[in-house]
Amino acid sequence: DEKTMSNKNSSEAFNKSIHNLGRWSNSVAVILMFCVPLFTMLIYKVEVDWPTTFKAAMQLCIVFIPTQLTEVISFTPIIGAGGTYLSFITGNVMNMKVPAATAGHRLMNVVPHSEEGEVVSILAIGMSSITTTLIIFVGMFALTPLMPLLSSEVLKPGFNNIMPALMGAMLLPHLVKNRKYVVVPMILATIAGVVVAKYGMVQGYLLIGIMIASVVTAILLTKNEGK
């Protein structure tokens, strides 16, 4: 009917504007990031050892490109297109932006990949980015006198486990609701973390493999339920 067609057109226009704005804003942000070292080099006449620079860059790319591709594939269904553009340019995706979006979804009782979930993700991630920026700005001045205390050996174990604690809090509700679907991924991830040498160098590839195994397991379990 006419109302359904109007809602469809509005949804398509919204998605198109999100992608247009996201592509342009991310492109500008990447260019500005490269401008920092470029202008520093030009203004202060810094000589760059290009072979050494490219060698170091390639080592980083080998580690981070598979990881980043995996994160985009795994996080986009949760935080949506708008949340993806916003979070991947502001950073702290896994330990800040995704938990903020999922907390917003639970608070508003919306499905992550729905239109309502998309809007909630954008608002939650936007406020998370603003809050993080303000906290960092204040922290630069207020926490400087406390740095000797915060860097002490007593508090170091706590700061080293911030991300696992955040990820655990974020995943626990989903694990409780879908216990049988998480057995295989949890076993594979635990084995990979314990057995695989130089885990940090291959974590992107391991994540892809575990994701595929998780999807296959979920499909098989769903089919068995149907029978």
pTM, full prediction: 0.64
Q: What type of residue is 34?
A: F
Kindly state the DSSP code that residue 196 receives in the 8-state scheme.
Answer: S
Kindly state the DSSP code that residue 155 receives in the 8-state scheme.
Answer: T
- pLDDT tens across 118-177, in order? 899 999 999 998 988 888 888 778 777 777 777 778 877 877 777 777 777 777 777 777
Q: Helix H segments across 91-198?
A: 98-108, 115-142, 147-150, 156-160, 162-177, 179-195
Question: What are the Cα distances from residue 176, in Å, to 97, 188, 212, 217?
Answer: 22, 18, 21, 17
Task: Please give the mean pLDDT across all residues of the chain.
Answer: 82
Residue 12: predicted pLDDT? 81
Q: What angle do CA 220, 222, 227 make, to 5 degrees?
A: 95
pLDDT band for 2, please (50, 70, 90 cuts). low
Contacting residues for 81 by C-beta, under 8 A, at least 6 apart: 15, 18, 19, 22, 118
The beta-carbon contacts of 185-191 under 8 Å, at least 24 apart in sequence, are: 185/210, 185/213, 185/214, 185/217, 188/213
Nearest to 170 by CA among 91, 89, 112, 90: 112
Contacting residues for 175 by C-beta, under 8 A, at least 6 apart: 182
- The residue count of the chain comes to 227
- pLDDT tens across 69-98, in order? 878 888 888 898 899 999 988 888 887 888
